[in-house]
C-alpha cells in the first residue's frame, strides 16, 4: 500500500470527522491521535545523505533564517518557495498540491486553517517523530492550536495580537485623541472625514480581520456538542460587530477598498488613511511600504466596547507544518523546531516582522521593537504584549476556515455593492458554512 493511501485512511481526517470535540478543544479522544495502521514508512535520510526540503512560506525575510540553517546543516538543505498570501491564494495552492500528490515538505499555515488540511489528510502527525519533547518550548495555547486528539500537526511560529496603528502627526494636527472605545473610534472617523481623510477601510475580503473583531466582541463561531460541530457565525456578538461596521460604511465614514493592496498602500503612504487596525506583524508592513512616513506612526490599544475593558484578539498567527507526503519528516521537523526556537533564527524572524513569537524563550520583549524609530521612539511592542494577555484563548477554529473566509469576502463584497445590511451576510455565511461542513461528512448544526 502506498504511504499516501495509508495516510488517507489514517488519523487526521478521522480526528476531525469523528472527533469534533477533540478537534475543537484539543482534548484527547480515544481512537484519534497517533495511531498507526502499519502503512509504509517515509523514505527517511540515510546517514551522510544530502537532501533538499522544500518550504512554502510568505513570511517576509524568511530567506535569512533559512540561509542560516543551510549554512549550519549542509546535509539538509531547505529551499524556500514564496507563495502569495493574498485572499488565501497560498492555501488554494497547497490544497491543489495535496490533491495532485506533490505538496512541499513544509509549509507555513495559519492556526485557523490547520483543520482544513486535516480534512484533506494533508499534514503529518508529528508525535511519532518526537515533537512532544519540544512542547515546553512554546506558549501553551499556541501549541494547542495544532493539537487534535493525541496528534500534533504543526509547530507554533507566531501570533498576531491586534492593536491600532495611528498617524500620530495627523491626529495631533487635527486635535483628535486616539480612540479608546468603539464609540470614540466612530467619533474619530467622523472628525477625520471632515478633514478630508479617512480613518480606515472595511476590507470586505479580509475575513481574518473580521474574525478578530468578532473574537474581541465575545463571539464563538465554532463549538462542539459531543461529536457534532456547532456553528454560530450569526451570533449576537458578531451581529454587534457587523452592525457597527455597516453603520460606518453606510454613513461613508470609512472606505471599502481591500487592505494591503495598491490603493490601500497609497492611502497609507499619503496620509489619506490615518490609521489601521492591524496586528503585531503589521509594523514591518508599514515600514516596508510607507518609509517616508517614518517617525509619524504610533501604536495604541485596540478600541474597546466598554471603556476600561481589556479584550483583544489575534489576527493571524502561524505554524510551520510538515506535509504528510514528506519523505523526510524527521529532518523536516528538526528544521521546524529550529526555525521557531533558535535565538538566532528568532532574531532574524523578528527583524523581518513575523509577529509575536510562539516560543517562550530565545528573545526579549525589547527585541520586538525592531522599528522603534519608525514609531517615533515608542516601545510599541508593549502594546501588543498587553494585547496578547487579553486575548480570549477559548476561541476555537472550525474546519474549512479558508472556505469560510472566501464566503465572508463574497458576501460582504455583494452587500457593499447592493447596500444590504451586514446581518444578511452573517445569516448567509452561517447557512453556507453548515452546508459546507455537512458536505465534508461532518456532523454539524447551528449553535
Q: Identify the residue with better confidence: 179 or 385.
A: 179
Per residue in 189-223, is it b (16+ CB within 10 Å) or e — as a string?
bebbeeeebbbbbbbbbbbbbbbbbbbbbbbbbbb
Q: What is the pLDDT of residue 19?
A: 43
pTM attached to this predicted model:
0.81
Q: Identify the residue with better confidence: 40 or 3.
A: 40
Residue 161 has pLDDT above 60, yes or no: yes
Supply the mean pLDDT for the chain.
89
Q: What is the pLDDT of residue 318?
A: 93
Degrees, nearest 5: CA angle 82-115-88: 35
Q: What is the pLDDT of residue 16?
A: 53
Beta strands in 34-142 (DSSP E): 51-57, 76-82, 106-110
Q: What is the pLDDT of residue 55?
A: 98
Q: Could you tell me the pLDDT band of residue 71, with boundaries at 50, 70 and 90?
A: very high
Residue 389 has pLDDT above 90, yes or no: no
Cell numbers for 215, please give them: 473574537
Q: What is the pLDDT of residue 15?
A: 52
Phi-psi region of 362 (alpha: psi -120 to 50; beta: other; left: phi over 0): left
User: Within the chain, how many helices (H) and strands (E) appear?
Assistant: 18, 14
DSSP 130: T
Q: What is the pLDDT of residue 2?
A: 30
Amino acid at each position: 500500500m502506498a504511504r499516501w493511501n495509508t495516510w488517507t485512511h489514517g488519523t487526521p481526517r478521522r480526528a476531525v470527522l469523528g472527533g469534533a470535540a477533540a478537534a475543537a478543544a484539543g482534548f484527547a479522544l480515544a481512537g484519534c491521535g497517533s495511531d498507526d495502521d502499519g502503512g509504509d514508512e517515509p523514505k527517511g535520510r540515510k546517514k551522510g545523505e544530502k537532501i533538499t526540503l522544500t518550504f512554502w512560506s510568505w513570511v517576509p525575510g524568511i530567506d535569512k533564517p533559512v540561509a542560516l540553517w543551510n549554512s549550519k546543516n549542509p546535509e539538509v538543505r531547505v529551499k524556500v518557495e514564496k507563495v502569495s498570501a493574498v485572499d488565501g491564494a497560498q492555501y488554494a495552492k497547497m490544497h491543489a498540491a495535496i490533491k495532485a500528490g506533490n505538496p512541499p515538505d513544509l509549509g507555513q499555515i495559519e492556526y485557523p486553517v490547520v483543520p482544513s488540511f486535516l480534512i484533506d489528510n494533508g499534514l503529518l502527525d508529528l508525535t511519532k517523530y518526537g515533537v512532544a519533547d519540544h512542547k515546553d518550548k512554546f506558549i501553551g495555547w499556541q501549541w494547542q492550536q495544532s493539537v487534535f486528539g493525541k496528534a500534533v500537526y504543526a509547530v507554533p511560529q507566531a501570533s498576531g495580537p491586534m492593536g491600532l496603528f495611528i498617524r500620530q502627526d495627523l491626529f495631533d494636527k487635527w486635535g483628535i485623541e486616539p480612540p479608546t472605545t468603539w464609540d470614540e473610534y466612530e467619533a474619530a472617523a467622523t472628525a477625520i472625514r471632515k478633514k478630508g481623510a479617512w480613518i480606515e477601510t472595511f476590507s470586505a475580503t479580509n475575513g481574518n480581520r473580521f474574525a478578530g473583531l468578532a473574537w474581541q466582541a465575545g463571539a464563538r463561531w465554532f463549538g462542539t456538542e459531543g461529536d457534532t460541530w456547532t456553528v454560530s457565525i450569526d451570533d449576537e456578538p458578531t451581529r454587534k460587530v457587523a452592525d457597527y461596521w455597516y453603520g460606518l460604511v453606510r454613513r461613508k465614514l470609512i472606505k471599502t477598498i481591500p487592505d494591503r493592496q495598491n490603493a490601500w498602500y497609497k492611502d497609507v503612504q499619503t496620509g489619506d488613511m490615518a490609521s489601521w487596525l492591524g496586528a503585531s506583524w503589521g509594523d514591518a508592513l508599514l515600514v516596508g511600504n510607507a518609509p517616508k512616513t517614518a517617525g509619524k506612526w504610533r501604536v495604541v490599544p485596540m478600541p474597546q466596547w466598554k471603556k476600561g475593558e481589556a479584550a483583544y484578539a489575534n489576527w493571524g498567527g502561524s505554524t510551520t507544518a510538515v506535509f504528510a507526503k514528506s519523505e523526510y519528516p524527521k529532518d523536516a521537523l528538526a528544521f521546524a523546531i529550529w526555525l521557531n526556537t533558535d535565538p538566532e533564527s528568532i532574531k532574524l524572524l523578528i527583524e523581518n516582522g513575523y509577529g509575536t513569537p510562539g516560543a517562550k524563550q530565545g528573545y526579549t520583549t525589547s527585541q520586538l521593537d525592531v522599528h522603534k524609530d519608525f514609531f517615533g521612539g515608542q516601545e510599541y511592542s508593549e502594546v501588543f504584549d498587553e494585547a496578547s494577555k487579553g486575548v480570549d484563548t477559548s476561541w476555537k477554529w472550525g474546519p474549512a476556515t479558508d472556505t469560510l473566509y472566501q464566503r465572508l469576502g463574497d458576501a460582504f463584497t455583494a452587500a457593499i455593492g447592493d447596500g444590504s445590511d451586514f446581518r444578511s451576510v452573517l445569516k448567509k455565511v452561517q447557512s453556507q458554512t453548515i452546508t459546507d461542513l455537512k458536505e465534508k461528512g461532518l456532523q454539524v448544526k447551528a449553535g
